Chains A and B, each alone.
Chain A
Amino acid sequence: MKSRLGFVPVVATLGFIFLYVPIISLIVFSFNESKLVTVWSRFSTKWYAELLNDEQILDAAWISFKIGAISATAALVFGTIAALALQRFGRFRGKTLLTGMISAPLVMPEVITGLSLLLLFVAMESLFGWPAGRGLTTIIIAHTTFCMAFVAVVVQSRLADMDSDQEEAAMDLGAKPARVFWDITLPTIAPALVSGWLLAFTLSLDDLVIASFVSGPGATTLPMLIFSKVRLGVSPEINALATIMILIVVVGVVLAAWIMASSKAKSSTTY
């Protein structure tokens, strides 16, 4: 028997409408011919054509894509090691410190992270001469740092769900730790690794604040470009860009859900 609280479904429905109205409005008005984003004139795909001819946006998108792919990969490696250490290695020196450092970036206001990393890079440059100037490298370092926290959370929750029985059995049968990791742990946490990488990639692709602080001339990421355009007002071209990005995400999420369901993988609690 379930308790009946009549207003719950009503508020929940309104909540979901609230979550989706902005996204739907973005998509609908990307097909609007008029430059006035919110006044409908007639169906058109001209903003998509303009988008695909806009060198500036395409360049920024490519830069963001590169930064995202490299940072997500580095964050995946570091975040997974951290998650394994915290979940499987028992007690070790500095465990509390690592726990704190891996969870703090999740909530740290971006302005603080951005400013502090920039000041570090400037101080390092004057002390060691590296990194020389700011640009792609500094953004990648910054993104790797905050993305590994998210990867660690995702992988850690998967490891917590997973039985350590199989790992222990393999060890008892004489398998070396490395062998246990490659043959048992890795295949089991593979779905979490995929979603962790994708999450890191999306977060990197989306970051405006941290990138603005640590970027330099010649490294304008997509969010930085969008922000400077949006400050001047709404533009249908941005709606078209948003629609493409949303479409990629929806396809990706549906595909991931389908793969998870068909492999009957036990769903882990991830973002």
Chain B
Amino acid sequence: MVIAIPMIWLLVFFLIPFAVVFKLSLSEAAIARPPYLPMMTWDEEGILTFVLNIGNYFYLLDDDLYIFAYMQSMKIALVSTVICLLVAYPMALAIARANSSTRNLLLMLVILPFWTSFLLRVYAWIGILKTNGLLNNALLWLGLIDQPLAIMQTDLAVYIGIVYTYLPFMILPLYTSLVKQDESLLEAAADLGARPVTAFFSVTLPLSFPGIAAGSLLVFIPVVGEFVIPALLGGPDTLMIGRVLWSEFFSNRDWPVASAVATVMLVVLVVPIMLLRLAQQADEKKA
């Protein structure tokens, strides 16, 4: 059967690796190649010894840095998701309500950045936000500020970068759910005397909840583990867990601790990932 090909591929290269990560998170780091001690060893008398080391998890609990980084990542992900939603909703609504030729053009404008390099688009913000960058030069020239604003290497820069990068992920599911709505419902609301704002809150908004849920999770989940944006735009104190994992792995070469960090991140994300599945299934059933 041909289904077996993608099935086995995903089992081997997607599912089993998580088991390997979990196994390694219970190993002990060592100066060796690869840099950890084997979990199972046979000694000369042929006795098999298992060494399980949960010390890596205690280490995560013990050092404030890790807990702080997890909290910070969750906070940044949550706040950026809300900002994305507030910016994306009017955009999705405007696209859904435009006439069909404008709609296709606007949709293409949303999708186009998605096709251009993410890394280069984040890089573009360095030129805009740095001390003698475009934004500061423009504000100075307009006389709105006397001193350049220090935005680069702050949390604000990270928020701008995240909202900018993940905005299309929010707009598209919102648009899909808004465009499916029956316009006669709004007409009915208007005929019954509802003002546009009332009609929005009692008809449009509740009907778009599946889109809101899908979009929010599509932003929230990957942002929790984001590495590139905090690494390029954030300061040294912008601790996000993706960045911590990266430096444990590449700078400290502590593979077991990096694996423990990844395992905890995965456990934290399991619930949102399952919720996303549910939101998408609900959406498919309605279609």
Contacts and interface: CB of A to CB of B under 8 A. Distances in A.
Contacts of B121: 22-23, 26
B52 interface: no
B132 to A, nearest CB: 6
Contact of B196 (A3, A252, A269): A3
B242 A111 contact: yes
Choose among B117, B217, B221, B242 the residue with the greatest number of A CB atoms under 10 Å from its CB.
Answer: B117
B172 interface: yes
Interface in A58-109: 78-79, 81-82, 85, 89, 92, 94, 97-109
Choose among B11, B124, B246 the residue with the greatest number of A CB atoms under 10 Å from its CB.
Answer: B124
Interface in A110-125: 110-112, 115-117, 119-120, 122-123
B225 A110 contact: yes
A107 B273 contact: yes
Contacts of B113: 19-20, 23
Given A4-B196, A111-B262, A22 B116 contact: no
Contacts of B97: 2, 8
Given A19-B109, A111-B245, A245-B120, A12 B225 contact: no
- In order of increasing CB-CB distance, the 4 nearest A-B pairs are A109-B225, A116-B17, A22-B124, A12-B94
Interface of A: 1-5, 7-9, 11-12, 15-16, 18-23, 25-26, 29, 36-39, 78-79, 81-82, 85, 89, 92, 94, 97-112, 115-117, 119-120, 122-123, 126, 141-142, 144-145, 148, 160, 199, 202, 205-206, 208-209, 212-213, 223, 226-227, 230-231, 234, 238-239, 241-242, 245-246, 249-250, 252-253, 257, 267, 269, 271
Interface of B: 2-3, 5-7, 9-18, 20-21, 24, 34, 87-88, 90-91, 93-95, 97, 104, 106, 108-121, 123-128, 130, 132-134, 137, 164, 167-168, 172, 176, 183, 186-187, 190, 196-197, 199-200, 204, 217-218, 221-222, 224-228, 231-232, 242, 245-246, 249-250, 255, 258-259, 262, 265-266, 269, 273, 276-277, 280, 284, 287
Given A107-B273, A117-B13, A126-B34, 16 more contacts: A3-B199, A5-B93, A12-B90, A15-B88, A22-B124, A26-B121, A82-B3, A85-B2, A89-B3, A92-B3, A111-B262, A145-B14, A209-B228, A242-B124, A246-B120, A271-B111
